Amino acid sequence: DIQMTQSPSSLSASVGDRVTITCRASQSISSYLNWYQQKSGKAPKLLIYAASSLQSGVPSRFSGSGSGTDFTLTISSLLPEDFATYYCQQSYSTPYTFGQGTKLEIK
């Protein structure tokens, strides 16, 4: 299985801040990387696929980059509704493994 490692595990930030979350794959996955947002008690929501393509309806303050083994999710200016847990997932090969998650909290 491909292991996905996110950092940091948790992050405190303020409304208006720019934040970056990192995801590293245990082997090259090209651009087969998704990002999801999960709010407490809710289902995950697909934000980004193919490492940098914004899912329809997702605000442009979210962006993704990277290829190979190293990827980032950036939120350019945090809004109150962005405080949630974020997961990366590789779709290079099954099983489609997730990172352990990054919890974004209000400072």
Partner 1 sequence: QVQLQESGPGQVKPSGTLSLTCAVSGGSISSNYWWSWVRQPPGKGLEWIGEIYHSGSTNYTPSLKSRVTISLDKSKNQFSLKLNSVTAADTAAYFCARGSVYSSKGVYYYGMDVWGQGTTATVSS
On whether the CB atoms of residues 78 and 13 are closer than 8 A, the answer is yes
For partner 1, the closer CB: 14 or 94: 94
**Residue range at the interface with partner 1 (CB under 8 A); choices 17-25, 62-70, 72-80, 89-97:** 89-97
* Cβ count near 40 (within 10 Å): 8
Q: Is 49 in the site for partner 1 (CB under 8 A)?
A: yes
* Cβ count near 19 (within 10 Å): 18
Q: Is 55 in the site for partner 1 (CB under 8 A)?
A: yes
Give the x-and-dash track for 3-22 against partner 1 (CB under 8 A): --------------------
Q: Is 46 in the site for partner 1 (CB under 8 A)?
A: yes
On whether the CB atoms of residues 89 and 100 are closer than 8 A, the answer is no
For partner 1, the closer CB: 5 or 76: 5
Main-chain dihedrals φ then ψ at residue 101, nearest 5 degrees: 100, 150
| Longest alpha-carbon distance in the chain | 37
Cα–Cα distance measured from residue 45 to residue 52, given in angstroms and rounded to the nearest whole number: 15
Which residues of this chain interact with partner 1, rule CB under 8 A? Answer: 1, 31-32, 34, 36, 38, 42-46, 49-50, 53, 55, 87, 89, 91, 94-101
